[in-house]
Amino acid sequence: MPLEIKLIRDSEYTVVNDFFNNSRGINRPGGRKARKQSEFSWEFLEGPDRKVIYAGAWEVDEGKEPVLVGTQCAIIHKMISSDGTWFLAAKGEDTLVGINAIARYRNTDILKELFAVLTEACKKSGVEFLWGFNTIPATYKRIGFGKSFKTNYSVLVLNPVKAYKNILSNKPEISVSAKYKMAILAGMSSLYSFRRKLLPCRQMTYHINRETGDNTGLFQRAAAPGPLCFMLQDNAYFTWRIRNNPYPIQYRSYQLLDRDNLLQGQVICSVAGNVASIEQTLFDKELAGSVVNFFLGKVISALKNEEICMIRYTGFQPNSLNAREMQLFKSMGFVFTGKGEWFTFKKLRDNTFFNPENIYLSRLYKQGID
């Protein structure tokens, strides 16, 4: 049967989501519930910027309905540079090719052809570069992505017994030696967490609220003198990403303001069960270290009061702003494991500014579904 690679039409989105759900038992992580059509619409169609671009691979047999056997999409979003210039970028997502199709069309690189159609559509939409998080960097290199680097997971254990039980419940098939290593990690992180209590901190003339607001100006002051770029996070973005999120994830936002109510720091966390994740932090570059420590101490104490047993954080090291953030969390007692996903990047236009080292990254850039 012929294979046709083309852009997905609006009327075919239900077929796309059905393909995802029917394929997940084969080459999607086990245990994930079927994705509702409303969840699909939120994730891909209702964002604050332009609608997603989808490419699909279809088996076409004369006299029969075409059958979808592969998908890849690009979520278009606005980014802003430290000098206030905004532009479009796109995050790769929903990459899925049926195993049977791979076997039937072994002489066709279906994923590469999907990506070629997607890339051309992104160029026509004014997208400057494509990027994403994944665990298969070699595959993305094959389809044209360039330089990649690995993220770094870390953890701060607040209750070692509950944290250890939580880790085991999520990984029931691990070996005895792996369980032993996890127990040591939980204990070490708990011991290191005492260090944060010794760090100097003063409230001074600042106050904290629990709101979530536009952080564009804060990013520019945090990144100065740059040059860096950042996903535009205005009120429309936070309404979509956090307030309208249909998944069972709760968010906590903490904002540090000075006496003139100017935003000086922002920490956004997600909570699932008794585990919290630091989604993103931003601090004015001129903010004193003692104030930053005070602010983070308040955030950690607030999470501990909710009986959170551990706090996760993902570190990135492509630029000075991300690197400073990692050092800060190390000083707060977070233990880094050296494990993580890969960040992959492909430039679509010839502009020296658009490089992976120039992108400030955070966990908030992920899809917000788990």
Backbone angles phi, psi at 292, to 5 degrees: -60, -45
Cβ contacts of 148 within 8 Å, gap of 6 or more: 137, 140, 141, 342, 343, 344, 345, 356
Question: What is the gyration radius of the CA atoms in the chain, in angstroms?
Answer: 22
C-alpha 313/C-alpha 319 separation (Å) is: 17
Per-residue confidence at 148, pLDDT binned at 50, 70, 90? Answer: confident
pLDDT (average), residues 283-297: 93
pLDDT at 27 over 50: no
Whether 344 contacts 131, CB under 8 Å: yes
> Rounded mean pLDDT of 153-174?
72
The CB density around residue 245, as the number of other CB atoms within 10 Å, is 19
| Residue 267, H or E segment | strand 263-272
Percent of the chain topping pLDDT 90 = 64
Beta bridge partners of 268: 253, 280
Q: What is the rounded CA–CA span in Å between residue 307 and residue 302?
A: 9
pLDDT at position 71 is: 96
Lowest average pLDDT, out of 87-96, 155-164, 203-212, 225-234, goes to: 155-164
pTM given for the model: 0.87
Check residues 209 and 367 and name the one with the higher pLDDT.
209
| Per-residue pLDDT at 175 | 54
Question: Does 108 have pLDDT greater than 50?
Answer: yes
Buried b (16+ CB within 10 A) or exposed e, 313-332: bbbbbbbebbeebbebbbeb
Range in 59-68, 177-186, 220-229, 343-352 with the lowest mean pLDDT:
177-186
Question: How large is the average pLDDT for residues 128-149?
Answer: 88
Q: Which two three-digit tokens encode residue 89? A: 């970028």
| Greatest alpha-carbon span in the chain | 75
pLDDT, mean over the chain: 87
Please name which of 20, 181, 177 lies closest in space to residue 95, comparing C-alpha atoms: 20
User: Which residues, 6 or more positions from 63, have their beta carbon under 8 angstroms from its beta carbon?
Assistant: none
Cβ count within 10 A of residue 102: 16
The pLDDT of residue 181: 54
Question: What would the mean pLDDT of 4-32 be, rounded to a whole number?
Answer: 81
Sorted by where each starts, the structural domains of the chain and their CATH numbers stand as 3-125 (3.40.630.30), 152-365 (3.40.630.30)
Give the tens place of pLDDT for each residue, 51-92. Answer: 899 999 999 988 889 999 999 999 999 999 998 999 999 999
Q: How confident is the model at residue 188 (pLDDT cuts 50, 70, 90)?
A: low
Closest CA to 80 of 267, 216, 252, 245: 216
Under the banding of pLDDT at 50, 70 and 90, the label for residue 370 is confident
Q: Is 361 left (phi over 0), alpha (psi -120 to 50) or beta?
A: beta
> In the predicted model, is pLDDT for residue 150 greater than 50?
yes
Is the pLDDT score of 229 beyond 80? yes
On the question of pLDDT at 138 being above 50, the answer is yes
Note if the bond before 227 is cis, omega within 30 degrees. Answer: yes
User: What is the average pLDDT across 257-263?
Assistant: 94
Tokens representing residue 296 in the block: 């983070």
DSSP state of 359: B
Q: Which CA distances in Å does 63 have to 16, 199, 257?
A: 21, 72, 65
Average pLDDT over residues 262-267: 97
As a whole number, mean pLDDT of residues 269-279 equals 95
User: How does DSSP classify residue 32?
Assistant: P
307-359 confidence digits (pLDDT tens): 999 999 999 988 999 999 999 999 988 999 888 999 999 999 888 788 899 99
For residues 357 and 319, is the Cβ–Cβ distance under 8 A?
yes
Point out which residues pair with 87 in neighbouring strands. 79
